[in-house]
Amino acid sequence: MSDQSSQSRRTVHLAVYDTLADWETGHATAHLARHGHPVRTVGLTTAPVTTMGGLRVQPDLALDDLGPEDSALLILPGASAWDEGDGLAPFASAARSFLDAGTPVAAICGATAGLARAGLLDDRDHTSAVSFYLAATGYSGAGRYREADAVTDRGLITAGPTEPVAFAREILALLGVYAGEKLDAWYRLFHDSDATAFAVLEDA
């Protein structure tokens, strides 16, 4: 594999769109970037978007210009827009293409509902904010819903809006940033404020 291809396959893509929930992906993207996974933003177009917190984000590329072969992971944050029509449906379609190609996808909060509507949670264990939130989509995967902070199944990570650290933990594990006691220490430090975990991470 060429250096350029190798770098491309380490790049993580963060979907950005209006009303994006700012708090849900920061732990994941910051620690990915610190450990050799460049993070690029992808929008429906390259027009600027505005997050729920009022931040203006200029996407690095448009969704039509991104293929599974160009990415290590597609992250889909929550957003009010997921529940306000079909405007973000192209991102759910992209998630299907990624998963079919063996490239992982991570969805949190409202993005899980978007994937449920697209049928992507029907045959995978998953979680979300609460079970009845996904049930309202009319999907067929209710039997695979898990009461957990975050779930990984066959390349798809899901989490609810109150679990950004657990969401990041699953992403960091999937991409091999941390494993074993280092992964556990990272989670204890950022989720539980366990100061003893810092020394374990310092040895990483």
The whole-angstrom separation of Cα 81 and Cα 84 is 5
The question of whether 129 is a catalytic residue gets the answer no
Alpha carbon of residue 175 to chain centroid: 12
The two tokens of residue 43 are 């929008």
Question: Among candidates 91, 140, 97, 102, which has minimal Cα distance to 119?
Answer: 140
The one catalytic residue in 32, 76, 94, 109 is 109
Strands 49-50 and 39-43: unpaired
Residue 109 three-state SS: coil
| Burial environment of residue 17 by CB neighbours within 10 A (0 to 12, 13 to 18, 19 or more) | buried
- 126 DSSP assignment: B
Q: Where would I find the H helices in 26-124? A: 26-34, 89-100, 110-117
Known catalytic residues are 109
